[in-house]
Amino acid sequence: MVTENIRQNTYFILFRIAAFLSVVILLFVLLYVIKEGIGVININFLTSMWSHRDITQGGIFPAIIGTILLAIGVSIISIPLGICTAIYLNEYAKENMFTRTIKLAIRNLAGVPSIVYGIFGMAFFVLFLNLGGSLIAASLTLGCMTLPWIITASEEALKSVPYSFREGSYALGATKWETVRKNVLPHSFSGMITGSILGVSRAMGETAPIIMVGATFFMGYLPTSPFDKFMALPYHLFILATQHSSPSAGEYAMGTALVLIALIFILNLGIFILRYNLRKRKEW
């Protein structure tokens, strides 16, 4: 069957090209940002305040701080809430139509566009609750956006613990909480935490929601209270790329992008290493 073999070989070569094209795209993106942005990276850029008049003199330190503060805020708000909800839904709630609907709804909220969360955050936290454009409003908004991700990731971690562990515990007369605490959580906790941190790292890169809840392009001081406005890397990068008039704006945008990617990458790498080490210790 020569023709069939030829046909197969042709298709398989095309498929191989397609797969590697995807990898090439990734490499291109990373290398391009590195190449274009590395020129502006220096200690000054990373550690000094933004200079409005001459951007080549200033740095993005406040944006870095802003992004980190946001990440911390989002983590505080949504990780405990998300993990506890996942524990309840997976371990305590009865298996019925109602629970299934809720789980389905949560999973699909994760697909709603970030801009929609943004206008919600603006309408609710900034205006209705009168928190104004601020770190706290932004953290709450991004927190709402990250909540479905965290609940879903934690649920997956809990589901991966075999039922037999729980059965063994109940058979010995343990209560539900004792079972969860001693037999389920130790094995799933790392999965839940890494899933959550991954969700937070995605939130760090989001721009649309924070545009309308307190992100600014230039502040002369670092935020000192949760009610302050703040600078953030993605928003900073966006303005530099689209609205800034300085001729070096493009280069600085790339530099900011590089810092943002590096931050996310470091966070992900940390999670990866953590997950690898924890997985090695698992016996099953």
Q: Taking contact as CB under 8 A, which single stretch among the options 155-163, 183-191, 197-205, 274-282 is the one that binds another protein? A: 197-205
User: Are 140 and 125 a contacting pair, CB within 8 Å?
Assistant: yes
Chosen residue from 107, 166, 229, 244 binding another protein by CB under 8 A: 107
Chosen residue from 42, 72, 92, 129 binding another protein by CB under 8 A: 92
Does position 170 interact with another protein (CB under 8 A)? The reply is no
Characterise 130 by phi-psi region: left (phi > 0), alpha (psi -120 to 50), beta (else). left
Does position 23 interact with another protein (CB under 8 A)? The reply is yes
Strand, coil or helix: 248: coil
Chosen residue from 34, 41, 65, 81 binding another protein by CB under 8 A: 81
17: tokens are 């090209």
Does position 202 interact with another protein (CB under 8 A)? The reply is yes
Does position 250 interact with another protein (CB under 8 A)? The reply is yes
Q: Which residue has the tokens 């999670």?
A: 271
130 phi and psi angles, rounded to 5 deg:
60, 35
Helix (H) / strand (E) element for 75: namely: helix 61-87
Query: Count of CB atoms within 10 A of residue 26's CB?
Result: 10
Chosen residue from 69, 122, 184, 193 binding another protein by CB under 8 A: 122
Residues 218-237 that bind another protein (CB under 8 A): 234, 237
Nearer to another protein, 162 or 177 (CB): 177
Residues 137-156 that bind another protein (CB under 8 A): 144, 147-148, 151
Least distance to another protein, CB of residue 58, Å: 19
Helix (H) / strand (E) element for 102: namely: helix 97-109
